[in-house]
Amino acid sequence: MFAFILFAIVCFARPVALMTMELSTTLQGRGGPQLWVKTAFGHKWGFTSSWLLWVQMFPSMVMIASTLCPLFGVMIGQDQLGDNHWFTLAFIIVFYWLITLLNLKFDMAKIGGAIGIWLGVYLPMGLMFILGLAAFLKRGLDPHSMLGAFSLHGTISSLTDTKSLQYVSAVAFIFTGISTTGVYAPRLKKVTHDFPLGLLLALTVVVLLNLVNAFLIANVIPAGSDQLDNIAEPVIRYCQVLGWPSWLAQVFSLLAFLGVALQLSTWVTGPSQMMAEVAKDGLLPAKWHFYRHDAIGVAQNVVITQAVLASLFALLYALPNINSVFLMLVNTAVFIYCTVYGIIGLAFIRVRYLLPNQERPFRVGKTGNGGAWAVTGLLMVGILMIALTTLISTDRLSAVFMLLITLLLFATPLIIEHFKRPAWLTDAQADLQNGGN
């Protein structure tokens, strides 16, 4: 755990954070990663980066939605439902279409914003931490848990064990999405001071929370009995260790369920706005009508397309091994993210040479471009290691699936760009002028 998180920080999170801070404060227009890549390599690759940041949400949201199934089972006192892959499949599809329809009728982003953060993150996280700490103080280190007894030789050998290596990308997933924070930089009054400080503080909190909680959880889950999508399992174990009532786990599950559901609901419309803007620029076929918004600002065609594609990814849960499907979805999302970050890394270097005299309020390296090359090199090493360790530790069928999906989703915007027509832009503008919202 410590080795993988250290690797993820040094070769993944830190380079991406430094690039994000420099690019966000140097290119302060709207658009974030799309603006950076477009400045470096033109509209084609700017569109590709936006597309990849959009499509990664399909495996990501299905994976996150799968955590709702065990929570729902614990809430109603039917814990075994979380182990049923058919129930998981049906639940994800029904739930995703439900929140899609709700977003077409109501402003769910406004309803679920702050409420979702408090219910889904702060309260359950606080409850989990308090229970975990109390259980640790009562029991101490449990040699029969996933954490096990400490052994220097065992720790070192586990770093090359395929069972351990399969979690490298899952650890990296903790830090994905860092680059998208760049879209908020223009909103800050003191962007050159507040944005770097806020981003570094957020990374520090994320690392500490994950390290502490992972340690406490690993010390209470019996070896070999983990269920990756069941975030209520540690709380159930904590209550058993402490001899506290099981309804605490049900309260936790209810809070987490409502919070995650509300957050997922807001994510339905968030990324869709990016595709709507891309469509307005004539980068997508006008007949798709991705640029149209309804009365509450929802791009209906984009949202419905998302629901269809997410449902297709959910079909993976027809496979009986829930843990394997969960990891497959995580790894696929990380592969797509790594593709985007590879493009951003190249754009970072390119912008340095295209705009050598541009004012850089936050700069990687005081002089020259050596620091920029070093940071980019670390990121490329990190991406390569994540890809290799994932492929080595994954069964052949899952590896082929992840590679094919990543290549397909990467090739799609390039194919669309190849067949782009000037009429896409003129038709979209004419439709919008004639009342197409």
- Tens-digit pLDDT profile for residues 268-295: 776 777 788 788 888 889 898 888 887 7
- pLDDT (0 to 100) of residue 183: 54
- pLDDT (0 to 100) of residue 142: 83
User: Which residue's structure tokens are 């606080």?
Assistant: 126
pTM of the model: 0.83
- pLDDT (0 to 100) of residue 437: 58
- pLDDT (0 to 100) of residue 30: 64
Residue spans of the chain under pLDDT 50: none
- pLDDT (0 to 100) of residue 78: 85
How long, in residues, is the chain?
437
Full set of structural domains in the chain with CATH: 2-433 (1.20.1740.10)
- pLDDT (0 to 100) of residue 122: 80
